[in-house]
Amino acid sequence: MDDLDARQTRTSPSVGPGVHGVPGQAGVIGIGLAAVLTFALADGSWEWFAAYIGVTLLAVIVSFYRLPPWAPGLRCAYAWNLVAYSLVVGLCVAIALAPLLQRSAWLLPMPGTRGDCRELGTYESLRTEAALGNLAGRDGAALARAQDIQRHDAVADCLASTTTLWLPLYGLGAAVLVGSGALIYDRARARRDADSSTPSIRRPG
């Protein structure tokens, strides 16, 4: 029995470091689908929960997926894995940044659009006042509160729609940065491993 176990151990295929099979690829596909669904089902203003989802997906993909060993050529498995990995990471980064981009004039300036959205909010406030004008004599505070809510929602929805139009550009930029960094690192590591595995030849003194 011991000899049989030993033979099975010797003949069982070993998986080298950095080699990932179907589970890793399926994980990237699942994270990509989750990010796409988050992006597609987003309605109205980008809330901070979207940032939480994006950061969580980033943590999962960085923790549980590793690229295969670097190999030259554009049609090799490494190139396809790198493209998929970079695009998924870029999409997660775009989702994580969406609430901040919507609210930050420094990250996403669009001064004309922000001014137009504020004017749209003023218009919605006036519409609310016209529709609920009979409440002014009864409860002016409630009318003012309703106007503020309608103004805020109109401005947020306007900014969110414009932010969504710019998100692919930010996601693509993040994907290019991640892909370039991963490619440079993996190529350097492959060359370093090749140099360390090459026996040094001593010259006679």
Is residue 112 assigned to a domain? yes
Is residue 169 assigned to a domain? yes
Nearest to 53 by CA among 68, 64, 37, 65: 37
For the chain, the straight-line distance linking the first and the last C-alpha, in angstroms and rounded, comes to 55
Lowest mean pLDDT among 8-12, 36-40, 86-90, 187-191: 8-12
Query: What integer pLDDT is reported at residue 178 of this predicted model?
Result: 94
Share of the chain above pLDDT 70, in %: 69
Q: What is the mean pLDDT of residues 17-45?
A: 60
Across all residues in the chain, what is the average pLDDT?
Answer: 76
Condensed to tens digits (0 to 9), the pLDDT of residues 38-58 reads 666 666 678 888 888 889 888
Distance separating alpha carbons of residues 92 and 202, to the nearest angstrom: 51
Alpha helices in the chain (DSSP H): 2-11, 22-41, 48-64, 77-103, 111-131, 140-197
pLDDT reading at 124 higher than 60? yes
**Could you tell me the pLDDT band of residue 151, with boundaries at 50, 70 and 90?**
confident
Q: What is the mean pLDDT of residues 7-16?
A: 43
Domain containing 142 equals 21-194
Is residue 52 assigned to a domain? yes
Is residue 199 assigned to a domain? no
Side-chain-facing half-sphere of 90: CA atoms under 13 Å:
21
From residue 33, how far is each of 20, 25, 91 by CA, in Å?
20, 12, 10
Query: What integer pLDDT is reported at residue 137 of this predicted model?
Result: 63
Lowest mean pLDDT among 7-21, 84-98, 113-127, 183-197: 7-21
Distance separating alpha carbons of residues 112 and 118, to the nearest angstrom: 10
Distance separating alpha carbons of residues 24 and 5, to the nearest angstrom: 29
How many domains are there within the chain? 1
Is residue 123 assigned to a domain? yes
Amino acid of residue 163: T
Angle between helices 77-103 and 140-197 (to 10 degrees): 150
**Could you tell me the pLDDT band of residue 9, with boundaries at 50, 70 and 90?**
very low
Is residue 11 assigned to a domain? no
Please answer whether residues 122 and 154 qualify as being in contact, where contact means their C-beta atoms are separated by less than 8 angstroms: no
Is residue 2 assigned to a domain? no
Is residue 5 assigned to a domain? no
Condensed to tens digits (0 to 9), the pLDDT of residues 177-195 reads 999 999 999 888 888 877 7
Query: What integer pLDDT is reported at residue 150 of this predicted model?
Result: 82
